[in-house]
Chains A and B, each alone.
Chain A
Amino acid sequence: MLVLTRKVGEEIFIGDSICVKVMEISGSKVRLGIDAPAHLRIYREEVLAKVRSENRSAAEWELTDFGRVAGLVPNNYKE
């Protein structure tokens, strides 16, 4: 991993089109400003981890769980 030291207001370029700027440092928190092309999705690592963890637990469904839930759906959601 490349490790760089930056001060508030300083920037890092990743390739030609991504710029990460250190906006503010306050205690243990760092605020970053990111300029990147619109086609790149940028998300916090913990969001990705949450989706992964939801997928893992969702994959545990068994047919009996499905039977319990199917009856709960209001009639007007059904075909």
Chain B
Amino acid sequence: MKVTTSRFGEIEIDSDKIIEMPDGMIGFTEHRFILLLPDNKGCFFWLQSVDNPALAFVVADPTAFVPGYEVTLTPDEYDKLRLAPEAVEVILLAVVNIPNEARNITLNLQGPIVVNPAQMTAKQIVLENGKYPVRHPLFSTAEPEQTERDGVSGSVQKITAICGNL
């Protein structure tokens, strides 16, 4: 199907790449998104609304930048995501923000997006445990060790597997 976007023009995507977000992004009403992998194949992705050409977020896998980052889901959230209780394959995405200059970009660790790739459903959740900030500076953390790098490329592959092409 064709998706019209303000940033990338008209793009052709497979309908099985559409991610349903029944509750939308917090503060927004749009319910259908696609993940797009930019040309540079870095660790940032676009979460583009299918129904609103102008609405897109830059997202990244928080576990690639914050070792040990984890989210505990409630039973309601399992239901919303149509996630089987024993399922382990979820993708976490954090909204990326660019306050003033590029080096100060931040990850929103307090409002992660949880994606169930098996059902292509997602939900943005709000964590209230004081553990993770809404603006985590991306470049303040030490560079990961070799062992974590392997995990990172694995998580990027999981995300690219459900991405549409630009």
Q: Which residues of A contact B (CB under 8 A)?
A: 38-44, 47-48, 50-59, 61-63, 65-66, 68-70, 72-74, 76-79
Contact = CB atoms under 8 A, between A and B. Distances in A.
Given A41-B125, A44-B128, A58-B95, A51 B57 contact: no
A59 B55 contact: yes
Interface in B52-95: 55-58, 64-65, 74-77, 95
Interface SS of A by simple majority: helix
A47 B126 contact: yes
Interface string B105-147: 1001011000000000000111110000011000100011000
A73 B141 CA distance: 12
Given A47-B110, A69-B105, A54 B7 contact: no
A70 to B, nearest CB: 5
Contact of B26 (A51, A68, A74): A51
Contacts of A78: 41-43
B103 interface: yes
Interface in B1-49: 7, 25-28, 38, 40-44, 46
